Amino acid sequence: MARELEELSDVELRGVAEDLGFDVGRKESRSDVISRIRARRLAIDEVSREEFARILRWAGEEVKDFHAKDLLVRRFYRVNFRKTEGLSPEDLRIVARLHAVDFDEDTPTEEIAERIETSAKRWTDVLKRAGGRVVGYIAKKVAGADDDEIAPPEEEEKAVGASLRKGFKAALRFSMDDYIAEKLDEIEARIDRKLDDLDRKMDEWRTREVRHRLRIIKYTIIATVVVAVISILYKLVAR
Amino acid sequence: MPTGLAGRHPVDFDLFYFWRRLLVVVVGIYCCITTADRMAGYWRLLHGEERHWGYARKYLVIQLLRVGLRDVGWELTQIAFWLAVLATLIWAHRFVS
C-alpha cells in the first residue's frame, strides 16, 4: 500500500487525501501527506463496513447491500457532522477517530460530540468562505454593476475562479467516482450471482455423477450375486 | 495331483468353473485398466503448475468433500445390502460342495 502511495503523482495524492476527508496544504510535503493518508487508512481499517453503513444511514443516506466499503468511506467523509444528535456514543467515537478529533477513553460523550461539531463547523467555514466569494462574484455579474466600483482586486478574482474550478472539479470527480464505484459494485454482485449459480450447478452435476458411479458399482455387485446364485444352483444340480 | 485352469483336475474339466474364473480375470483386468486410464486422464488434466490449475485441484477436493451422505445414502445402503448378500452366497458355497 505504501509503495502504491509513493508511486502516485501529486495530483493523485491530493485526490486520495480529499477522498479521505482532508485538504492538503500548499506547503505540505509529499511524505507528510503520505503519512497522514496512511494514518487515516489505519483508522479506517479498524472500522467495519457495517459501522460505516450505520453512520451513513443515521445521516439519511441510502446504503445498499452491494455497496463496497470504499464507497461508503468516501460518502462518510462527505457527511456534515455539524449536528450529531442521534448518533450513539460508539458511533461518535468512530466519527471522532476518523476525523482525527483529539479525545481519550475518559472523555465524556457530550464533550466528544461538541468537539466533532466544532471541527465540522471549522471545515464548513472554509467552504462557506469559498462559497461566499463565489456567490459575490456571481451576484456582481448578474447585477451588472460598474466594474470599477465594486470589482474585487485581481488576486481575489483569481482566487474565486480557482475556487470555482476546484469546486466543479471536485464535484465532477465525486460524481464520477460514485457512478463508477456503483457500476463496479453492480457488476461484482452480478458476477457473484453467476458464480453462485455455477457452483450450484456443479454441486448438482457432482451429486448426479457420484450417484451414477455408485449405481454402476451396485449393478456390478448384483451381476456378481446373480453369478453366485447360478453357481450355487449349478453345484446343487451337479452334486 | 496337478490342477487345470478351472482349479479342477483336467479330467474333471468343468465349463462353468472355467467360465467363472475367466469372468473374474477378464473383468478384473478391465476394471484395473479403466480405473488407471481414468486416473491418468485426471492427472493429465490437473497436473499443471499454473495457479489456475492449483485452484481447480482445490475446488475439486472441496467438491468431493462436500458430497453429502444424504445425497448418496440410498445407493450406499443398497450396495451394502448386495455386498452382504454376496458374502452370504460365497459363504453358502461350502455347504453345497
Q: pLDDT tens, A7-60?
A: 777 777 777 887 787 777 767 788 888 888 888 888 898 898 888 889 988 888
> How close B47 gets to chain A, by Cα (Å)?
21
| Average pLDDT, rounded, for chain B | 83
C-alpha cell at A88: 450513539
Contacting residues of B for A229, CB less than 8 Å apart: 89
Predicted-assembly ipTM surpassing the 0.95 threshold: no
Question: Residue A92's pLDDT is what?
Answer: 87
Which residues between 1 and 30 in chain B have a beta carbon less than 8 angstroms from any beta carbon of chain A?
14, 16, 20, 23
**What residue of B is the nearest CA neighbor of A211?**
B72
Higher local confidence (pLDDT), B28 or B6: B28
Higher local confidence (pLDDT), B41 or A139: B41
> How close B71 gets to chain A, by Cα (Å)?
7
Taken in order B52, B58, B64, B70, the sign of the CA dihedral is: negative
Q: Do A225 and B89 touch (CB under 8 A)?
A: yes
What is the CA A175 to chain-centroid distance, rounded?
A: 14
* Domain extent for A49: 5-195
The rounded distance, in Å, linking the Cα atoms of A205 and A194 is 16
Question: Residue A136's pLDDT is what?
Answer: 59
For the ranges A130-139, A214-223, B33-42, which has the lowest average pLDDT?
A: A130-139
For residue range A205-216, list pLDDT tens digits in order.
888 888 999 999
Mean pLDDT of B4-9: 48
Of A217, A224, A235, nearest to B93 by CB-CB distance is A235
Question: How many percent of chain A have pLDDT more than 70?
Answer: 84
Residue at A57 is within a domain? yes
| Phi/psi at B67 (5° precision) | -65, 120
pLDDT band (50, 70, 90) for residue B19: confident
Question: Residue A1's pLDDT is what?
Answer: 46
C-alpha closest to that of A205 among B43, A213, B75? A213
Residue at A67 is within a domain? yes
Residue A31: exposure state from Cβ atoms within 10 A (0-12, 13-18, ≥19) = exposed
Q: How far is CA B48 from CA A32, A116, B42, in A?
A: 47, 57, 11
Residue A130 clears pLDDT 80, i.e. is over it? no
Q: Do A215 and B75 touch (CB under 8 A)?
A: yes
Of A202, A203, A214, nearest to B76 by CB-CB distance is A214
Q: Which amino acid is at B10?
A: P
Question: Residue A134's pLDDT is what?
Answer: 61
C-alpha cell at A49: 463496513
Residue at A221 is within a domain? no
Residue B6 clears pLDDT 50, i.e. is over it? no
Look at residue A105 and give its three-state secondary structure.
coil
Task: State the Rg of chain A over Cα.
Answer: 33
Residue A87 clears pLDDT 60, i.e. is over it? yes
Residue A127 clears pLDDT 60, i.e. is over it? no
Domain count, chain A: 1
**What residue of A is the nearest CA neighbor of B69?**
A207
Residue at A48 is within a domain? yes
Residue B74 clears pLDDT 60, i.e. is over it? yes
Residue A95 clears pLDDT 80, i.e. is over it? yes
**What residue of A is the nearest CA neighbor of B89?**
A228
Q: Do B90 and A228 touch (CB under 8 A)?
A: yes
Taken in order A45, A48, A53, A56, the sign of the CA dihedral is: negative
**What residue of A is the nearest CA neighbor of B80?**
A218
Mean pLDDT of A218-235: 90
Question: Residue B2's pLDDT is what?
Answer: 42
Q: How far is CA B56 from CA B45, B47, B48, B49, in A?
A: 10, 10, 10, 11
Q: Do A225 and B78 touch (CB under 8 A)?
A: no
> How close B72 gets to chain A, by Cα (Å)?
6
Question: Residue B48's pLDDT is what?
Answer: 83
Residue at A26 is within a domain? yes
Q: Do A203 and B66 touch (CB under 8 A)?
A: yes
Q: Cβ contacts of residue A112 below 8 Å, gap of 6+?
A: A89, A92, A93, A96, A101, A103
Contact criterion met (CB below 8 Å) for A13 and A32: no
Of B64, B85, B96, nearest to A239 by CB-CB distance is B96
Residue at A161 is within a domain? yes
- Residue of A198, A200, A230, A235 for testing the chain B interface, max B β-carbons within 10 Å: A235
Residue at A24 is within a domain? yes
Question: Residue A237's pLDDT is what?
Answer: 86
- DSSP assignment of B30-72 equals HHHHHHHHHHHHHHHHH---SHHHHHHHHHHHHHHHT--HHHH
Mean pLDDT of A75-88: 84
The rounded distance, in Å, linking the Cα atoms of A217 and A201 is 24
> How close B7 gets to chain A, by Cα (Å)?
15
Residue at A209 is within a domain? no
The reported pTM is 0.43
